[in-house]
Amino acid sequence: MERADLHRLIDTLPEGALENANRMLEHLNIFPRQPSPEMERMRQISREQREKMRRLIRPGTLGGTGGVGSVNPSTAYCHSGDTRWEDQTAVHETNHLFKGHEITVTERLRIADDGKAIHYTHEAKGPKGEPIVSKIIFDVW
């Protein structure tokens, strides 16, 4: 996409959408955005929590606690998640441990190159690593 394409797109927006478009463009003015030190700290904690979660719950155990996302010792279930950017794609990954079996769910969202749709991908990997993938395209214009 060229700048001229973006200018043409802005010219087609209804008056009511200009304020929102302005806020979004101002938000993108610093690109790529650098995560704040607090966000980096939270990501590191999330990684550490996932590792702790894997150590806490094993098949046949009741699990444990320790600030790992959500832990329910009576059902041997816990989960932890992390959100990050991969180029222009927002990625959210959630790890679930249920009675010692891990399921990883990864969601990806990105705007189509023409700016007219959101591409959403949902991938779930079961205990044996077999992925189940679904893709949805949401029109936004």
Residue 91 lies in a domain: yes
Residue 65 has a pLDDT of 37
Residue 5 lies in a domain: no
Residue 94 lies in a domain: yes
- Residue 86's SS3 state is strand
Residue 41 lies in a domain: yes
Residue 89 lies in a domain: yes
Residue 82 lies in a domain: yes
- pLDDT tier at 138 (50, 70, 90 boundaries)? very high
- Structural domain that includes position 50: 32-139
pLDDT digits (tens, 9 = 90+) for 81-93: 888 889 999 999 9
Whole-structure pTM over 0.75, yes or no?
no
* More confident site: 49 or 95: 95
Ramachandran angles phi, psi of 90, nearest 5°: -80, 130
Number of domains forming the structure of the chain: 1
Residue 44 lies in a domain: yes
- pLDDT tier at 70 (50, 70, 90 boundaries)? low
Displacement of CA 100 from its chain's centroid (Å)? 24
Tokens of 4: 């001229």
